[in-house]
Amino acid sequence: MVKVEKELTISCTPEAFLDFVMDIERYIQVDDKIRAISWVRRDGNLTEFKFQPRLPGLSLPEPKAVAQMRLTPGRCIDIRLAPPPLNKFNHRMADFAARFSCAPVDGGIRATRMISFRFNPLTRWMLDPVLTRTLPGSVERELRLSKQILESGESG
């Protein structure tokens, strides 16, 4: 299993941070693991989107995926692959979970980003070592660029 969790203090409100992440068409600016978005559907606190994933350090062709982001207002966003029958191939390859959470601190929030993959035994030997090496930098970059955008007022 590969699991990465990073945190960073950002001078913004929880709502500003979580709204930025839920706007996946803007968030793609900071997330190098999302190549292109085919469509987005938002219904209240649930956002679904179809995208072309790109795992850092891998140049393998990756099938498109449909992700679901569920917002708990003021607290967190939980992300998973949409259940079958969508993502049949992706579900066979790995279990995926991700989370954005935030907590108020002096001067803003402490933003935490977690992402995890549990690959099937056939691919684990190849994918775990690569992502163990490359995923932490990708997550740190996400938080750093989010901080730049949110603190500069570019977030809308």
Look at 36-50, 56-70, 104-118 and tell me which has the smallest mean pLDDT.
56-70
Q: How many structural domains does the chain have?
A: 1
Please state, for a pLDDT cut of 70, what percent of the chain lies above it. Answer: 98
Mean pLDDT of 123-133: 95
- Is 118 inside any structural domain? yes
How high does pLDDT run on average in the chain?
95
Handedness of CA 110, 104, 70, 151 (dihedral sign): negative
Please write the tens of the pLDDT for every residue from 51-109: 999 999 988 778 899 999 999 999 999 999 999 888 988 888 999 999 999 999 999 99
Which value, in Å, is the radius of gyration of the alpha carbons in the chain? 15
| Both tokens assigned to 17 | 């941070």
Mean pLDDT of 28-52: 96
- Is 153 inside any structural domain? no
- Is 28 inside any structural domain? yes
Whole-number pLDDT of residue 26? 95
What is the dihedral angle through the alpha carbons of 24, 116, 58, 68, rounded to the nearest 10 degrees? -30
Mean pLDDT of 22-34: 96
- pTM for this model (two decimals): 0.93
- Is 154 inside any structural domain? no
| Residue 150 DSSP one-character state | H
Please state, for a pLDDT cut of 90, what percent of the chain lies above it. Answer: 86
- The confidence band for 156, taking pLDDT boundaries of 50, 70 and 90, is low
DSSP for 69-137, written as a single string: EEEETTTEEEEEEPPTTTTHHHHHHEEEEEEEEEEEETTEEEEEEEEEEEE-HHHHHHHHHHHHHHHHH
Q: Which residues constitute the domain of residue 28?
A: 2-148
| Both tokens assigned to 48 | 């679904």
What is the dihedral angle through the alpha carbons of 55, 57, 58, 62, rounded to the nearest 10 degrees? 20
Handedness of CA 65, 70, 76, 81 (dihedral sign): negative
* Domain containing residue 44: CATH number: 3.30.530.20
40 and 64 Cβ atoms separated by less than 8 Å? no
